[in-house]
Amino acid sequence: MQTRWRPTLAEAAAFVGGELRDAPDPNRRVKGFAPLEKAGPEELAFLVSARLRAAAERTQAAAVLVAPSYAHLARPRIVVADPYLAFARLQQRFFPRPRGRGRRDPTAIVHETARIAEDVDIGPYAVVEEEAEVGAGSILGAGTYIGARARIGRECILHPHAVVMPECVLGDRVVLHPGAVIGADGFGLAWSGERWERIPQVGRVIIADDVEIGANTCIDRGTLGDTVIEEDVRLDNLVQIGHNARIGAHTAMAAQAGVSGSTRIGKGCLIGGQAGFAGHLSIADRARVGAQAGVIGDIREPGEYWGTPAVEKRRWLRAFAALLKLAERK
């Protein structure tokens, strides 16, 4: 990918509030980032791990983003409080998110009652059903599907084959990666004694602003009320959110995690890959749930939780150590 922004080292440092040190030419222009071992004299790099200190000393990068603890690195450097955050902000500047320009592929199918802003891009074979709405600057990739009366906010990006089922709502600047499905039926069934009876799922999915949904992630519509994803939530690939669940603002969830129906995840939580949550639970704000943890009860306090059933991290480590000692006994 190419970038049009070519700042000088001094401009890049100022952009992230950093201090440029030992650069022979502060006016050298850079075109982006590269790994420490591959970066050239027109590229930046960053150092966030002590294991990469030797690579940072050898790099040919124009400058390295470093924390104050590495301020004496023997290379041109930009000293910032958080190099990884500075990298993220510079990378966003190098590669700003695209915005629609009103291009519509002739193979797209858009219902005559749909309300589409003039500058929306609609890719090949995309479908927009009746009375759906798509806000200004949004992009609908190839093969995307927008169901009847669904609402898509401004500057959203729906990558190829993303699906938004009828009645569902996306806020502004939402990103759906390829294959994400918003608003499929929840897993609602009743056992009659002889067979399963399906419970029609008639609620919606409501997604707030600045949410990003990974590839092939599925968020089920509510049975009666709504499944809600609050602002700035980040869901990785292959995540499953059950019907009527609620995910609190600024929560991030890694790949293959699953949340059962009607569970409430608090704000600012971090959920590891393959973690699972039983239904009808309440998870406190700022909880950190480890990878492959199995949460079967409420988490009432912030903290770090590991294992199955999930318990506080220190308790789990003590229990595991005791288990290993027991296994060593003859």
Catalytic residues: 243
Q: What angle do CA 202, 211, 164 make, to 5 degrees?
A: 35
Strands (E), 27-180: 44-46, 63-66, 77-79, 109-110, 115-116, 121-122, 127-128, 133-134, 139-140, 145-146, 151-152, 157-158, 163-164, 169-170, 175-176
With b for 16 or more beta-carbon neighbours within 10 A and e for fewer, the 111-148 pattern comes to eeebebeebbbbbebbbbbeebbbbbbbbbbbbbbbbe
Main-chain dihedrals φ then ψ at residue 58, nearest 5 degrees: -95, -10
Contact indicator for 16, 89 with CB cutoff of 8 Å: yes
Cβ atoms of residues 70 and 59 within 8 Å: no
Query: Is the separation of the CB atoms in 102 and 121 below 8 Å?
Result: yes
| Residue among 13, 93, 22, 14 at smallest CA distance from 46 | 13
Reported for 203-206, long-range contacts at CB under 8 A and 24+ positions apart, including other chains, are: 203/227, 203/243, 203/244, 204/167, 204/168, 204/169, 205/165, 205/168, 205/169, 205/229, 206/168, 206/169
Please, what sign has the CA dihedral across residues 24, 27, 33, 38?
Answer: negative
DSSP 98: P
